[in-house]
């Protein structure tokens, strides 16, 4: 009886293993068809192009912000905190301490 049980268990396990392996090979083969590889490559290229466009857009935005800051500094619209904060004073922004050199205050031109 033990031998029959082990034989039936082995046959069932072997059949399930072969079926599982067959499905895995078939799905893997479908992933690497020429059309699918071309489609995934095209999708990846489109995503990289979008990433590049986003990076350029972010760089331009940062450039404009820095340009506005430099123009404000040139026009005298920037007030440095060194004039208003003593050496022992602590500066808080939104309740958090910050260094005076890390804050920029802009005034509107009159």
Number of domains in the chain: 1
Segment 4-34, tens digit of pLDDT: 899 999 999 999 999 999 999 999 998 888 8
Distance CA 38, CA 32 (A): 9
The pLDDT of 81-106, averaged and rounded, is: 71
Alpha helices (H) in 1-110, listed in sequence order: 2-31, 34-75
Distance CA 64, CA 75 (A): 16
Which residues span the domain enclosing 109? Answer: 76-110
Distance CA 106, CA 73 (A): 9
In a domain, 87, yes or no: yes
Q: Which of 47, 27, 23 is nearest to 36 (CA)?
A: 27
């Amino acid at each position: 009886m033990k031998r029959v049980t082990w034989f039936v268990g082995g046959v069932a396990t072997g059949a399930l293993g072969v079926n599982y392996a067959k499905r895995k090979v078939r799905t893997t083969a479908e992933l690497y068809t020429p059309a699918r590889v071309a489609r995934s490559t095209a999708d990846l290229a489109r995503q990289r192009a979008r990433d590049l466009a986003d990076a350029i857009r972010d760089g331009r935005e940062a450039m404009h912000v820095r340009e506005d800051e430099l123009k404000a500094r040139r026009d005298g619209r920037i007030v440095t905190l060194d004039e208003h904060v003593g050496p022992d004073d602590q500066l808080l922004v939104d309740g958090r301490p910050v260094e005076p050199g890390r804050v920029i205050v802009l005034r509107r031109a009159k």
